[in-house]
Structures are given as structure tokens and as C-alpha cells.
A = this chain, B = another copy of it.
């Protein structure tokens, strides 16, 4: 099981390490099912080159292909990305801790008692604990 997961992660990360492949996934994110020729159209590379990229994505389980007559259509199957994200999430505390420190610094700066309000410094509200940022923030 561990070996299976390791090789899945290998293939997922390797598949994502190419800008054309990431662009193909982004296209399939916008539209449910897209034919190979339609997928290839915007790219300044040959159709066989795109086919090779699609093979890599398919081997990684990131897309599925269905043939109807002479047309091959591709669909996004993003499940392996969840595993990749879970692996990365293990390291998330590094950047959330940095953000927490920045937030604490900014709040401290904001609540620095001015000469006029120095007597009311004791009424400073407790620092609101920064909520853990989910990855959905970049949407």
C-alpha cells in the first residue's frame, strides 16, 4: 500500500511538473469534456506532443479518455491531486506560523498605545487567534 501510494505520488508530482500539462488540466477544469484536437488547438506544439502529455496525465490518473467513433474526449479525474495536497499539507504549519507571526506583529503595531490613550492600555482586547487558513483562499 505504501509503495502504491509512493508511486502514485511520484507520478502525480512528475505529471504536474510541466506547464503544458498544468495548462491542459486547467482547460479540463473549465470544461467537463474536451476532445483531444480541441484541447491541442491553443498550444504552439504539435498534436503528437500534446498526445504524449495526455499519456503522462492519464498514467498519473489525472485524466480519463473515452473514444466515441473517431473522437477521443478527455475528462479531468483530479483524485490523485488530493493525495499530493495532503502530502504538502504536512508542511503547511511553516507558512501559517509565519502568517500568524505577521498578524501578531501587525496587531501589536495597531494597538500600540498612543500618548492620548496610554491609560486605557489595560483595556486592550485579547489577540484574536488567527484562524487556520485553508487552501481555498486562492480561489
Partner of A89, one of B16, B17, B135: B135
Q: How large is the interface on A (under 10, 10 to 19, 20 to 34, 35 or more residues)?
A: 35 or more
Q: Which of A40-48, A90-98, A106-114 interfaces with chain B?
A: A90-98
* Smallest beta-carbon distance A96→chain B, Å: 8
Partner of A132, one of B10, B22, B90, B134: B134
Counting CB contacts under 8 A, is A128 at the interface?
A: no
B residues in contact with A93, CB < 8 Å: 136, 139
B residues in contact with A78, CB < 8 Å: 91, 94-95
Give the B-binding residues of A (Cβ under 8 A).
Answer: 6, 9-14, 16-19, 22, 25, 29, 76, 78-79, 81-82, 84-96, 132-139
